[in-house]
Amino acid sequence: MPYTAPPPPPVPPRPPRGTLKLPEVRTVALTAPLTWLALGWRDLWRVGMPSLLHGMLLATFGLGLLMLARDQFWLLAGAFSGFLVVAPVLATSLYALSRALERGEPANLRTIGKTWTRWQFSRYAVHGGYWSLVRFGLMLSLAGTGWVLTSAALITALAPAPVNTPTDFLRHVVLAHRGYLFELWLTMGALMAAPLFASSVVSMPLLLDRRVDVLQAVLTSWQTVLTNPGAMALWAALIMGLTLLGMGTLLLGLIVILPWLGHASWHAYRALVDTRSLPERLPPEGNA
């Protein structure tokens, strides 16, 4: 009898055109972000050095920026603003570490390496594979660049004197006796930051954990914010406050704060989104 090759494994069908399946979003208590921080703190020290290495690398990068751009305020402000915007992408391996802990799997440097080098080759990329993460990261980078250019143009056009250093910004914008430039600058920043936060608050963990595309992830993130406006406002304030605290310690505090927030963000996603209706993206050991 001639040999007949076995049929290839079935590929999950794509959803019909025009349909978009979103997971259910849970309602959480106003104080839920405090619980996420507590769980993130636990994960940080359970993982240990692999998590702290993320903070060390990012703090070192920030220190290099300070040294290179100490007299070029807008380059410095733009770099740090861009970092805050793309931080959800940079924290992807922190989400993977927390997921490994949740599954009872090893959470170590090998987990990080596999996260970035193996699951992007999934044959299920049509369902939102590695390139969905890349596309979303590029979108966030473009949005951050747009804010930096808008902010620089506003200050350059309306400031009463040239602003070249942080001291100039404090003197001529924040403490200016006339005009409302600082208030206008803050308002514009809030108007641009709010939709970015709403689009990304659970998008990256969802893209890592489930086979979804960018649009599904972003719409789910918006639904999360609209369902829990109070808790999400507190979460945004905690993220901003802790990040500024880390920057105020000459970036040394970021060594702990950044991985802490990354792990906490995973727990925020798990508390807010019921993903049982979505196909799972297998861990790095698998093929999806």
Average pLDDT of the chain is 80
**Whole-prediction pTM:** 0.81
pLDDT per residue over 238-262, tens digit each? Answer: 998 998 898 888 888 999 999 999 9
pLDDT band of 11, cuts 50, 70, 90: very low
Distance (Å, rounded) from C-alpha 140 to C-alpha 77?
A: 16
d(CA 43, CA 247): 22
CA 217, 222, 227, 229 torsion-angle sign: positive
Helices 130-158 and 181-200 sit at what angle, rounded to 10 degrees? 170
Query: Hey, is 25 helix, strand or coil?
Result: strand
In the prediction, which pLDDT does 163 show? 77
Whether the per-residue pLDDT at 274 is higher than 90: the answer is: yes
Query: How sure is the predictor about 98, in pLDDT bands with cuts at 50, 70 and 90?
Result: very high
Q: How far is CA 263 from CA 41, 109, 119, in A?
A: 8, 15, 20
Q: Please give the pLDDT value at position 100.
A: 93
Name the band, by pLDDT with cuts 50, 70 and 90, for residue 28: very high
Instruction: Name which of 145, 113, 119 is nearest 131 in CA terms.
Output: 119
Determine the average pLDDT of the residues in 67-84.
66
**C-alpha of 94 from chain center:** 11
> Confidence class of residue 123 from pLDDT cuts 50, 70 and 90?
very low
- The model's pLDDT over 151-178, given as tens digits with 9 standing for 90+, comes to 777 777 887 787 777 777 778 777 777 7
- DSSP code per residue over 167-180: HHHIIIIIS-SSS-
DSSP 126: G
Alpha-carbon Rg for the chain in angstroms: 21
What pLDDT is stored for residue 17 in this prediction?
47
Contact, 248 vs 40, CB < 8 A? Answer: no
Residue 248 has a pLDDT of 82
Calpha distance 281→288 (Å, rounded)? 6
Given this model, what pLDDT does residue 43 score?
Answer: 97
Report whether pLDDT(286) > 50: no
Q: What is the pLDDT of residue 73?
A: 67
Rounded Cα–Cα distance for residues 276 and 280 (Å): 8
Q: What is the pLDDT of residue 71?
A: 65
* Structure confidence at residue 33 as a pLDDT band (50, 70, 90): very high
